[in-house]
Structure 1
Amino acid sequence: MAISRRKFLLGAGGVAVVGAGAVVTPMIRREGTLVAAKSRAPFVAGTEGPLPKESDVVIVGGGIQGIMSAINMRERGMSVTICEKGEVAGEQSGRAYSQIISYKTEPEIFPLHHYGKKLWREMNAKVGMDTSYRTQGRVEAIPSTKELEVVKEWIALNSKNPGFDSPLNVRIIEGEELKRRLPNAQTPWEIAGFEEDAGSVDPERGTTVLAEYAKKIGVKIYTNCAVRGIETAGGKISEVVTEKGTIKTSLVVLANGFWARLFMGNMGVDLPTLNVYLSQQVVSGVPGAPKGNVHLPNGIHFREQSDGTYAVAPRIFTSSITKDSFLLGPKFMHLLGGEDLPLEFKLGADLWNSFQMPTSWTNDEVTPFEKFRVATATANNEHLDGVFNRMKAEFPQFESSKVLERWGACIAPTADGCPIISEIEEYPGLVVNTATGWGMTESPAAGEITADLIMGRTPVIDPTPYSTKRFK
């Protein structure tokens, strides 16, 4: 792989490239705009009745990060209330690619992935329900001798002490084993990395099943209940203000995905994340198709789902030019580095809309969160057609496969590729859990870290790389 996924995600910051020669017309015609949308996840009924008068902790956001954090805190005896502006898993948590891997991850996030995989393997038994998680292995073809050396070095480094009483199950495969795992491949792949314990989660099912489990153990989830702000008294958090009333609390977790920057900006805290768009699709399974997760360097990426269909991802990102592009572009520029990043720019309605979006409000005003109950990017059909055509050319058995569903998605990475799982110095008692490009893989471990920070315990994983202090 010529570029790590971390850099792949982060190229979105290079908005200044637009002024250095990008052609405007394709940017205008390109698909990808943030719009109000419908959730693609199964409906999860919210808790009935009025809001509780008080709660040990209030979580803002009912996606996978908020749900995992809630489960961890509730299992430790805390009363937990989730306030979700729209529907559970309505945005990115129901739209992710959702392969569960640690392959070639950087040292800062490897523990999140390695521990996350272990927790996912135990998840179905823990909750007593089928989350759709499957351990099914992942093949990533290696295109060059140079890349092979990189993979070997990564395996050697992370095999020494991966932690969590769980070995690193990654090895090099070739010959007949590789052919069996890539049946009828038209490219004569010679060697690949194989992650034996890689997994798969169908995001819309995984998140909603875990939400039902959270409700079962006593977590209260209020949907269509946007949080407008946080009140303080004596320098400490005193209550959370929602559109439906207030909840007394001294502890808050912010886990509202790409809305976190806007929310914290109203509180005077800068979270330097930049929205990027991507597209996903599901196609029907066919006899003789490769099993598990497959990543090929000729632009083919797919994941077998629990029902035998395949999630197919172009892995081409779109940076839609907005006000934040000009504010944050310089912080992301160094990540371009002249590399051939799979990144495109979009010039359109998002730019105008970003200047119209309120960035400050009082707690008795209607907020953008109430106007966008569920929001996402529109799908880029050119990207989706391209990856599906490449997939069918590489594996002719997919010629009879049909597109079942397509959708767009939005994530908000940081300039260093690490998530934000951090206490906020300006607001003691507030922990932010957001800005991940690997939300499904990282969520079990991130949820534990969040619970540790909220409860004043030493986190299960050193959270220093994820702290907001790194931005200062």
Structure 2
Amino acid sequence: MKISRRNFLLGLGATGVVAGGASALVPMMQREGTLVNAKSRALHVEGTEGKLPKESDVVIIGAGIQGIMTAINLAERGLSVTMCEKGEVAGEMSGRAYSQIISYKTSPEIFPLHHYGKKVWRGMNEKIGMDTSYRTHGRVEAIPHEQELAVVEEWIKLNSENPGFDTPLKTRIIKGEELAARLPGAQSQWTIAGFEEDAGSVDPETGVSMLARYAMQIGVKIYTHCAVRGIETAAGKISDVVTEKGSIKTSSVVLAGGIWTRLFMGNMGVDIPTLNIYLSQQRVTAVPGAPKGNVHLPNGIHFREQADGTYAVAPRIFTSSIVKDSFILGPGFLHLLGGGELPLEFKMGPDLWNSFKTPTSWKNDEVTPFEEYRVAMATPNNEHLDRVFNKMKAEFPVFKDSKVVERWGAAINLTSDELPIISEVPQYPGLFINTATGWGMTESPASGQITADLVMGKTPFIDATPYSMKRFS
């Protein structure tokens, strides 16, 4: 059976430290990618001023894309919503994502999240009355051989029958002049490709910030530089959220903490089996005659046209920084070892020492790690970024005069089964988690609505069983 890209990354990331020998230590030490305090890339959002409210129907921890989408869904249903963000809106992964809006070749469990997400994003600018930067401009993925073609054709057939949400699947096979028009100037002889006509993209530095501004317009309160230290209960139910700036009474809490979710829940005695994986991104200048839209080539070239004409370029090479959790979670990820579409490298460095120094438990009146890392991200791997940009120039000579505008690192937290966590926490009724997606921008419209359904005690509009925490028990 073919192992997917994410399976390969997760399996190796979790077990590399266990399986690796001493001979691997020198190159591992030389890898780039370390978690550090960083500056936000996202368009600044001025948070709510003044004191925290004494109470709120729902408190959301984390103002990234998952938290913001959840907040919008809840506020539109008439609930009072307060968001507490330790740093800046979209300061971490949500302002650094590759941000394709796609459903191509996704699994049966993931497909409805993506198909619905694409539909919602297409109407987002009109809905909120702002330009999120979202554009529908299609995505072409070259198909390298007959076996892959058979996989794509079967996927298209399966998902064309009943894609759902009154929205047809608009993915098809292209070749000849149509493919050549999508890849003008390509040096390789690509003969066939999958084309996702309704794929799009969002510039992460803009999109989430505009959604946050809309959320505030409809009544959501967003307090930035306001780390949540813990959650209190009374009579077995959620009663208060304790922040560095005071407490808020509430009966419902949504944790959308990204890479910090495992640490936060660990302090509450709940194990969230996710590992953090690093990746690097860059943005390069536009050039006349370059391919438009989103392009994915199996020779390691991946780029996405931004709203301003620049291009986001991703090496699609991931780094597993070996930390304490690599030892703890490694055995649970062993079954995922196998071949993969993309490579993973290991990093043995400061993160390992820091993971043993970072407190894993604290009291609600104590300073937490979240206050030490207001905006934290991995440092970029410039070797990976140089390599993919050079490949891009060789494949499309039109980019030879293109220049790097900026580079950044990012980090995502993922589960061993490739699925997000969208679930109530069984041990704490009234506490919900929305995290662990490698496709946050695409999945967020659906995950935000599912989370809102769960908070309100309604049956989710998409079956949330595959995303429940109960699957880990």
2:309 corresponds in structure 1 to 308
Q: Distance in 1 between matches of 2:295 and 2:183?
A: 8
| Cα offset, 1:331, TM superposition | 1.2
1:125 corresponds in structure 2 to 126
1:418 corresponds in structure 2 to 419
1:10 corresponds in structure 2 to 10
- Per-residue CA deviation, residues 266-325 of structure 1 (Å, 9 max, x unaligned), is 000000000110000000010010000000000000000000000000010000000000
- Per-residue CA deviation, residues 381-429 of structure 1 (Å, 9 max, x unaligned), is 0110011000000000000100000000000100011000001011001
- Per-residue CA deviation, residues 211-243 of structure 1 (Å, 9 max, x unaligned), is 000001100000000000000000000000000
Q: Distance in 2 between matches of 1:242 and 1:344?
A: 37
| Structure 1 residues 9 and 101: alpha-carbon distance in aligned structure 2, compared to 1, 3 A threshold | farther
Q: Which runs of 5+ in 1 are unaligned?
A: none
Report the 3-state secondary structure (helix = DSSP H, G, I; strand = E; otherwise coil) of the residue aligned with 2:441. Answer: helix
1:204 corresponds in structure 2 to 205
Aligned pairs (5 A) from 1:16-165? 16=17, 18-20=19-21, 23-165=24-166
Q: Match for 1:10: what amino acid?
A: L
Aligned pairs (5 A) from 1:13-412? 13-16=14-17, 18-20=19-21, 23-339=24-340, 341-412=342-413
Residues 53 and 248 in structure 2, CA contact (< 8 A), matched pair in contact too: yes
Q: Match for 1:144: what amino acid?
A: H
Report the 3-state secondary structure (helix = DSSP H, G, I; strand = E; otherwise coil) of the residue aligned with 2:466. Answer: helix
Residues 13 and 415 in structure 1, CA contact (< 8 A), matched pair in contact too: no
| Structure 1 residues 395 and 83: alpha-carbon distance in aligned structure 2, compared to 1, 3 A threshold | same
Higher alpha-carbon deviation: 12-21 or 390-399: 12-21
Report the 3-state secondary structure (helix = DSSP H, G, I; strand = E; otherwise coil) of the residue aligned with 1:14. Answer: helix
| Cα offset, 1:332, TM superposition | 1.3
Q: Distance in 1 between matches of 2:305 and 2:5?
A: 20
Q: Match for 1:335: what amino acid?
A: L
| Cα offset, 1:447, TM superposition | 0.4
Residues 183 and 291 in structure 2, CA contact (< 8 A), matched pair in contact too: yes
| Cα offset, 1:19, TM superposition | 2.3
| Structure 1 residues 375 and 344: alpha-carbon distance in aligned structure 2, compared to 1, 3 A threshold | same
Residues 4 and 341 in structure 2, CA contact (< 8 A), matched pair in contact too: no
Residues 16 and 333 in structure 1, CA contact (< 8 A), matched pair in contact too: no
TM-score (norm 1): 0.98
Residues 64 and 439 in structure 1, CA contact (< 8 A), matched pair in contact too: yes
| Cα offset, 1:334, TM superposition | 1.4
Q: Distance in 2 between matches of 1:22 and 1:89?
A: 39
Q: Match for 2:4: what amino acid?
A: S
| Cα offset, 1:26, TM superposition | 1.0
Q: Distance in 1 between matches of 2:205 and 2:341?
A: 32
Q: Distance in 2 between matches of 1:21 and 1:184?
A: 45
Q: Match for 1:376: what amino acid?
A: M
Q: Distance in 2 between matches of 1:373 and 1:25?
A: 31
TM-score (norm 2): 0.98
Report the 3-state secondary structure (helix = DSSP H, G, I; strand = E; otherwise coil) of the residue aligned with 2:159. Answer: helix
Residues 29 and 349 in structure 2, CA contact (< 8 A), matched pair in contact too: yes
| Cα offset, 1:6, TM superposition | 3.1
Q: Distance in 2 between matches of 1:22 and 1:270?
A: 33
Q: Distance in 2 between matches of 1:339 and 1:198?
A: 24
Residues 313 and 387 in structure 1, CA contact (< 8 A), matched pair in contact too: yes
| Structure 1 residues 339 and 104: alpha-carbon distance in aligned structure 2, compared to 1, 3 A threshold | closer
Residues 15 and 326 in structure 1, CA contact (< 8 A), matched pair in contact too: no
Residues 9 and 437 in structure 1, CA contact (< 8 A), matched pair in contact too: no
Q: Distance in 2 between matches of 1:34 and 1:26?
A: 18
1:428 corresponds in structure 2 to 429
1:442 corresponds in structure 2 to 443
Q: Distance in 1 between matches of 2:114 and 2:340?
A: 26
| Cα offset, 1:126, TM superposition | 0.5
| Structure 1 residues 286 and 8: alpha-carbon distance in aligned structure 2, compared to 1, 3 A threshold | farther
Report the 3-state secondary structure (helix = DSSP H, G, I; strand = E; otherwise coil) of the residue aligned with 1:140. Answer: strand
Residues 3 and 336 in structure 2, CA contact (< 8 A), matched pair in contact too: no
- Per-residue CA deviation, residues 158-180 of structure 1 (Å, 9 max, x unaligned), is 00000000000000000010000
| Structure 1 residues 344 and 307: alpha-carbon distance in aligned structure 2, compared to 1, 3 A threshold | same
Q: Distance in 2 between matches of 1:186 and 1:151?
A: 24
Q: Distance in 2 between matches of 1:53 and 1:345?
A: 46
| Structure 1 residues 468 and 15: alpha-carbon distance in aligned structure 2, compared to 1, 3 A threshold | same
**Number of corresponding residues:** 471
Q: Match for 1:220: what amino acid?
A: K
Q: Distance in 1 between matches of 2:279 and 2:18?
A: 19
Residues 420 and 434 in structure 1, CA contact (< 8 A), matched pair in contact too: yes
Q: Distance in 2 between matches of 1:142 and 1:341?
A: 15
Q: Match for 2:83: what amino acid?
A: I
- Per-residue CA deviation, residues 95-127 of structure 1 (Å, 9 max, x unaligned), is 000000000001111000000000000101110
- Per-residue CA deviation, residues 39-91 of structure 1 (Å, 9 max, x unaligned), is 11111111000000000000000000000000000000000000000000000
Report the 3-state secondary structure (helix = DSSP H, G, I; strand = E; otherwise coil) of the residue aligned with 2:20. Answer: helix
Residues 135 and 202 in structure 2, CA contact (< 8 A), matched pair in contact too: yes
- Per-residue CA deviation, residues 138-162 of structure 1 (Å, 9 max, x unaligned), is 0000000000000000000000000
Identity level (%): 76
Q: Distance in 2 between matches of 1:412 and 1:33?
A: 15
